[in-house]
Structure 1
Amino acid sequence: MIWGVAGGLTSLAAARATGPDGAVLGLDISPDLIDAARRRAKGHAPNHSGVTFVCADAATVALDGEPYDRLISRFGSMFFADPYAAFTNLHGLIRPGGRIDLAIWAAPRDNPWMMELMGVARSHIDIPSPDPRAPGPFAFSDLDYVRDILARAGFSSPDIEPYQGEQPIGGPGASPDEAADFALASMAIGRALAEAGDDVLARARADLVSLFGQRHVPGKGVMMANKVWLLTAKA
């Protein structure tokens, strides 16, 4: 059995990998994401019946039945208010000898997609530097911190590999306008710009569209460089 934090796509990929005899549970704290995942599952005939989606907080959830063989999270594990307690809870959901696989962002300086977006935002508003370990996309960029969390939770033998590539902002094939709307709707900089007023937001959006126009690749979308840590550990 595999447990994956749900946006839908990762859980469905896990279901295809486990085959008809496997069981996959997708978990997320967001009701909207869970609803979207359930709708997406209906359109995936291969083994979609082996996927269950539950809306709950992974930091505290207690699940019935046997422990899971594997836990997968793609950019969903960095938002816990108390990561030490959360990963201790996660450890209890995986059978002894099972496995946890995480994709986590490397430091912002290694992720031009974030640095360039922040550069646009900071040209319009003041954005204070955050606590590097505060819940957020880059909370786990310090690998010593991540290793300490895992070790205290009971995980062992962590293996961490870098991945560098490009990602489509706003999804594959998105136009510069669509990518700008996605960034403003889904990221904290969008809320901060909106709070500064409609004029500021409009100017920032225009700058984002211009930036994304320079990064737009026909047939692919707005492609921007990234760096990710791929982490595996044993329960």
Structure 2
Amino acid sequence: MTEAANPHADALKYEDWGGEMGARWLANLKGFEGTIAPAGEALLARAAFAPGERAIDLGFGGGATTIAIAEAVSPGGIVLGLDISPDLTSAATRRAQQAGIDNARFQCGDAAAVTVADGPYDRLVSRFGSMFFAEPVPAFANLRAMLKPGGRMDLAVWGPPMENPWMLKGMEVARQHVEIPPPVPRAPGPFAFEDIDYLREVLDGAGFGKVDVGVAEGELPVGGAGASAEQAEHFAQNAMAFGQVLLDYPVEVQEAVARDLKALYEQYYRPGEGVMMGYKAWLVTAYA
């Protein structure tokens, strides 16, 4: 392992979605949306939005989920996209306008503390946007305040790292070359709610009830549907959190990681499908 100084060694413990990670998501939007599409589709199928409902989409990313919800709740319904990234907020607003969606709007704010002006809402949904709160109980209590009494919340959160090889294996390859800390249980980050009992504690402490947990699992295409091993490697280095860590190391180290990542993804490449690797997500429903 290379023992270079790394001022961003904690990059996987805290992801700056209001700044660097939001900009990174936007720059790699197609790859991100294509990669997590199977889990996102499972979440929306479970949520089953209906016309006339008023919904909040927390951590909307590029806005694809928000637009899908807006179409599902039309006519008569509206959707508010809420995200901490100003870059994503601006981009999603333009995207909805270009798509002719007039029942969706996007607000930049920290969901842990922000107040929505036209609440309360019927529904709240989040596709992998709820795992990054520094203090999750008060944050979820704030989300609950956005909902009507009895309002429904649907979340997709990643399951345990070992059951998400699409993330874990790439991280393991990088770790052979650079120093990357392992995920810290219950800490803000992709695997904050891998322990579903912990998530139940958080939701109970925030005042949510009738918690029900389903599973979405299978394979997803790293880098998007049809991506080659080289394209998947480029996506991983430029979009995933460990890619930020690599920027603090010499070019030759980054190139070595790139070679090994490409070799990894070649093992999982299927013509016409892409780099197909396993994932597991919890689909969580709770009521205010």
Could you state the TM-score of these two structures normalised by the residue count of structure 1? Answer: 0.95
Aligned residue type for 1:152: G
Identify if the C-alpha distance between structure 1 residues 132 and 185 changes in structure 2 by more than 3 Å, giving closer, same or farther: same
1:115 maps to 168
1:185 to 238, 258, 267: 238
Answering whether residue 94 of structure 2 is matched by residue 44 of structure 1, we say no
2:75 maps to 20
1:86 maps to 139
Q: Over aligned residue pairs, what C-alpha RMSD do you find?
A: 1.3
CA distance in 1, matches of 2:234, 2:111: 29
Secondary structure class of the residue paired with 1:131? coil
Matches within 5 A, 1:170-209: 170-209=223-262
2:214 to 161, 169, 172: 161
Q: Which stretch of structure 1 is more off in the superposition, 70-79 or 117-126? A: 117-126
Aligned residue type for 1:80: F
Aligned residue type for 2:243: G
Structure 2 gap ranges (5+)? 1-53
Q: Which has the higher strand share?
A: 1
2:86 maps to 31
Aligned residue type for 1:116: K
Structure 1 gap ranges (5+)? none
1:89-145 per-residue CA deviation (whole Å, 9 max, x = no partner) reads 001000001100000000001111122112211111232223211110000101111
Task: Specify which structure has the bigger relative contact order, considering alpha-carbon pairs within 8 angstroms and separated by 6 or more residues.
Answer: 2
Identity of aligned residues (%): 51
Answering whether residue 180 of structure 2 is matched by residue 127 of structure 1, we say yes
2:122 maps to 69
Identify if the C-alpha distance between structure 1 residues 109 and 202 changes in structure 2 by more than 3 Å, giving closer, same or farther: same
CA distance in 2, matches of 1:231, 1:136: 17
2:66 maps to 11
CA distance in 1, matches of 2:201, 2:263: 42
Shift of 1:188: 2.2
Aligned residue type for 2:65: T
Could you state the TM-score of these two structures normalised by the residue count of structure 2? Answer: 0.78
CA distance in 2, matches of 1:169, 1:213: 11
Identify if the C-alpha distance between structure 1 residues 218 and 34 changes in structure 2 by more than 3 Å, giving closer, same or farther: farther
Aligned residue type for 1:96: P
Aligned residue type for 2:226: G
Q: Judge conservation of contact 1:194–1:200 (CA < 8 Å) in 2.
A: no
The alignment covers a number of residue pairs equal to: 233
1:139 to 189, 192, 217: 192
CA distance in 1, matches of 2:93, 2:236: 24
